[in-house]
Structure 1
Amino acid sequence: MKKTSILLLLVLFARISLANQILIPMDKSQTNHLKAYGLAYILLKGDIDVEWLLNYRGGSFKVQYSKSIENECKLRAISYEIMSEAASAQLNNEISNPSINMDVVKLHKAAKIAVYSPIKISPAEFENTDAVLLVLKYAEIPFEVIYDEEILKGELPKYDWLHLHHEDFTGQFGKNLRRTSQEDIKAQEAIANRFGYTKVPQMKLAVAKLIKEFCAGGGFLFAMCSGAETFDIALAAEGVDIVDNLDGDGIDPDAQSKLDFEKTFAFHNFKLQLDEYEGMNFSDINSSAGRYRSWGENDVYFSLFDFSAKWDVIPAMLVQNHENLIREFFGQTTAFSKYTVKPSALVMGTSSSSDRYIYGEMGRGQWTFYGGHDPEGRGGGGRRMPTDLNLYPNSPGYRLILNNILFPSARKKKRKT
Structure 2
Amino acid sequence: MVKKLLSILLVFLSSFCLANSILIPMDQSQTNHLKAYGLAYTLLKDEVDVEWLLNYRGGSFMIRYTKAIESECKLRAISFEIISDASSQLIVTKIADPDVNMEVIKLHTAAKIAVYSPVKISPSEFENTDAVLLVLKYAEIPFEIIYDEEILKGDLPKYDWVHLHHEDFTGQFGRNLRRMSENDVKAQEAIASRYGYGKVSLMKLAVAKAIKEFCAGGGFLFAMCSGAETFDIALSAEGIDIVDEIDGDGYDPNAQSKLDFSKTFAFQNFKLHLDDDQGSSFSDINATGGRSWYSDNEDYFSLFDFSAKWDIIPSMLTQNHEHLIREFFGQTNAFTKNTVKPNVLVMGTSSTSDRYIYGELGRGQWTFYGGHDPEGRRGGNRRMATDLHLYPNSPGYRLILNNVLFPSAKKKKRKT
Verify same fold: TM over 0.5. yes
Deviation at 1:201, TM superposition (A): 0.2
Q: Does 1:267 align with 2:267?
A: yes
- Determine the structure 1 residue equivalent to 2:200: 200
Within 5 A, what are the aligned runs for 1:380-395?
382-395=381-394
**Counterparts of 1:14 and 1:244, CA distance in 2:** 74
Q: Kindly tell me the number of residue pairs found equivalent between the two proteins.
A: 405
- Contact persistence 2:349–2:356 (CA under 8 A): yes
- Determine the structure 1 residue equivalent to 2:128: 128
Structure 2 CA distance for partners of 1:208 and 1:129, relative to 1, 3 Å: same
Given residue 134 of structure 1, which amino acid in structure 2 is its aligned partner? Answer: L
**Counterparts of 1:18 and 1:290, CA distance in 2:** 58
**Counterparts of 2:49 and 2:335, CA distance in 1:** 36
- Determine the structure 2 residue equivalent to 1:212: 212
Given residue 39 of structure 1, which amino acid in structure 2 is its aligned partner? Answer: L
- Determine the structure 1 residue equivalent to 2:407: 408
- Contact persistence 2:24–2:61 (CA under 8 A): yes
Deviation at 1:220, TM superposition (A): 0.2
- Contact persistence 1:23–1:60 (CA under 8 A): yes
Given residue 161 of structure 2, which amino acid in structure 1 is its aligned partner? Answer: W
Deviation at 1:61, TM superposition (A): 0.2
- Determine the structure 2 residue equivalent to 1:251: 251
Cα deviation 1:336-364 (Å, max 9, x = unaligned): 00000000100000000000000000110
User: Which runs of 5 or more structure 1 residues have no equivalent in the other structure?
Assistant: 1-5
Structure 2 CA distance for partners of 1:124 and 1:380, relative to 1, 3 Å: closer
- Determine the structure 1 residue equivalent to 2:79: 79
**Counterparts of 1:79 and 1:294, CA distance in 2:** 33
- Determine the structure 1 residue equivalent to 2:375: 376
Deviation at 1:179, TM superposition (A): 2.0
- Determine the structure 1 residue equivalent to 2:237: 237
- Contact persistence 1:17–1:66 (CA under 8 A): no
- Determine the structure 1 residue equivalent to 2:301: 302
- Contact persistence 2:303–2:349 (CA under 8 A): yes
Which stretch shifts more, 404-413 or 274-283? 404-413
**Counterparts of 1:20 and 1:263, CA distance in 2:** 51
Cα deviation 1:10-49 (Å, max 9, x = unaligned): 9x95995486100000000000000000000000000000
- Determine the structure 2 residue equivalent to 1:65: 65
Deviation at 1:87, TM superposition (A): 0.9
Structure 1-normalised TM-score? Answer: 0.94
Deviation at 1:176, TM superposition (A): 2.8
Given residue 236 of structure 1, which amino acid in structure 2 is its aligned partner? Answer: S
Q: Does 1:180 align with 2:176?
A: no
Given residue 97 of structure 2, which amino acid in structure 1 is its aligned partner? Answer: N
**Counterparts of 2:192 and 2:256, CA distance in 1:** 26
Q: Does 1:98 align with 2:101?
A: no
Structure 2-normalised TM-score? Answer: 0.94
- Determine the structure 1 residue equivalent to 2:3: none
**Counterparts of 2:294 and 2:40, CA distance in 1:** 37
Deviation at 1:109, TM superposition (A): 0.2
User: Which runs of 5 or more structure 2 residues have no equivalent in the other structure?
Assistant: 1-5
**Counterparts of 2:263 and 2:325, CA distance in 1:** 31
**Counterparts of 2:58 and 2:278, CA distance in 1:** 42
Deviation at 1:90, TM superposition (A): 1.3
Deviation at 1:412, TM superposition (A): 5.1
Aligned with 1:187: secondary structure?
Answer: helix
Structure 2 CA distance for partners of 1:131 and 1:293, relative to 1, 3 Å: closer
**Counterparts of 1:246 and 1:411, CA distance in 2:** 46
Aligned with 1:359: secondary structure?
Answer: strand
**Counterparts of 2:169 and 2:243, CA distance in 1:** 11
- Contact persistence 1:226–1:333 (CA under 8 A): yes
Deviation at 1:125, TM superposition (A): 1.1
Structure 2 CA distance for partners of 1:244 and 1:232, relative to 1, 3 Å: same
Aligned with 1:295: secondary structure?
Answer: coil
**Counterparts of 2:103 and 2:26, CA distance in 1:** 15
Within 5 A, what are the aligned runs for 1:26-65?
26-65=26-65
CA RMSD in angstroms comes to: 1.9
Cα deviation 1:308-338 (Å, max 9, x = unaligned): 0000000000000000000010000000000
